[in-house]
């Protein structure tokens, strides 16, 4: 029995009932929304936790956690999808995230349409970046790694008695999880994502995890709040850094990994 038509009807009814409910709560587009573009493990949760301490800010997090496509209909335009996300926010200054190509898939990976919709709605944009070595290291040493299973890249863990560190050997050819590619393909995807974001949103606020969050979080928080014309607050968070070690201290085959990270090229693909 083909259940697809039934599921489609259920989803359509779900969207038609719930989305208007959110729109009734917050019916007007406020013109104070901000999108944070980033890939995983770049410090977006840290940024959100600090922003949420501000009485006028509501940092919602990643779009896929908010929607997971279930509020979208097949004929929804990119602008309508953004408005549906906005309808779930409060009347405060709202921040939500687009995390890499996964979240961009919600908008059919169409950069032109996304740019036009964001410009039309007069949204602010932030680009949050981190060096790729530490993105990889953060993925490998994430505190919830055991709960979700070891990433495919991790093929060996060994304890180094001399340095008292947990060494991780990376298989650069294995996929990172069920839906991921090899290390080279994954990093190329990160580079392509940031290349397109910077081309399409050149006026964005630029944040570096190392300079604006890790070294002095007050710098990054002030940069965002001042740009929006909001009062500054003290940068506080309950989040702690999982690992303070350098990539070369943790990754057993660091030279091999570093060579791949340095040599990945941006693939010049035509924008939709």
Over the chain (272 residues), the average pLDDT of each successive run of 10 is 70 59 50 88 91 92 64 80 75 86 81 94 94 86 50 42 62 68 86 95 95 94 94 90 82 91 71 43
Nearest 5°: phi and psi at 242? -70, -50
Q: pTM of the entire structure?
A: 0.81
H/E stretch holding 224 reads helix 217-227
pLDDT of residue 238: 84
pLDDT of residue 239: 82
Which sign does the torsion angle of CA 189, 191, 196, 201 carry?
positive
Angle at 64 between CA 61 and CA 68, to 5 degrees: 140
pLDDT of residue 174: 74
Residue ranges and CATH numbers for the domains of the chain are 4-263 (3.40.50)
Map tokens 């991921």 to a residue: 180
151 Cβ neighbours under 8 A, 6+ residues apart: 139, 140, 145, 176, 177
Rounded Cα distance between 57 and 55, Å, is 6
93 Cβ neighbours under 8 A, 6+ residues apart: 32, 33, 34, 54, 56, 57, 58, 228, 230
pLDDT of residue 180: 62
Map tokens 């057993």 to a residue: 252
């Amino acid at each position: 029995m083909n259940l697809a038509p039934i599921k489609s009807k259920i989803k359509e009814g779900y969207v038609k009932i719930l989305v208007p409910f959110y729109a009734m709560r917050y019916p007007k587009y406020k013109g104070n929304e901000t999108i944070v573009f980033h890939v995983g493990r770049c410090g977006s949760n840290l940024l959100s936790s600090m922003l949420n301490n501000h009485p006028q800010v509501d940092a919602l997090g990643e779009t896929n956690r908010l929607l997971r496509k279930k509020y979208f209909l097949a004929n929804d335009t990119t602008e309508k999808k953004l408005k549906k996300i906005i309808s779930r926010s409060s009347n405060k200054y709202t921040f939500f995230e687009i995390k890499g190509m996964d979240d961009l898939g919600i908008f059919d990976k169409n950069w032109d349409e996304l740019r036009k919709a964001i410009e039309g709605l007069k949204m602010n944009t932030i680009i949050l970046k981190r060096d790729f070595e530490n993105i990889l290291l953060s993925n490998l040493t994430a505190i919830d790694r055991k709960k979700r299973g070891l990433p495919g890249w991790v093929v060996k863990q060994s304890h180094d008695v001399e340095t008292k560190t947990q060494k991780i050997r990376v298989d650069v050819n294995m996929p990172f999880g069920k839906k991921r590619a090899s290390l080279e393909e994954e990093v190329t995807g990160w580079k392509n994502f940031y290349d397109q974001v910077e081309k399409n949103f050149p006026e964005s606020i630029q944040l570096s995890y190392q300079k604006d969050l890790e070294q002095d979080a007050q710098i990054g928080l002030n940069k965002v709040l001042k740009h929006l014309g909001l009062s500054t607050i003290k940068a506080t968070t309950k989040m702690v850094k999982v690992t303070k070690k350098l990539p070369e201290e943790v990754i057993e085959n660091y030279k091999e990994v570093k060579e791949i990270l340095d040599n990945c090229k941006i693939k010049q693909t035509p924008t939709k």
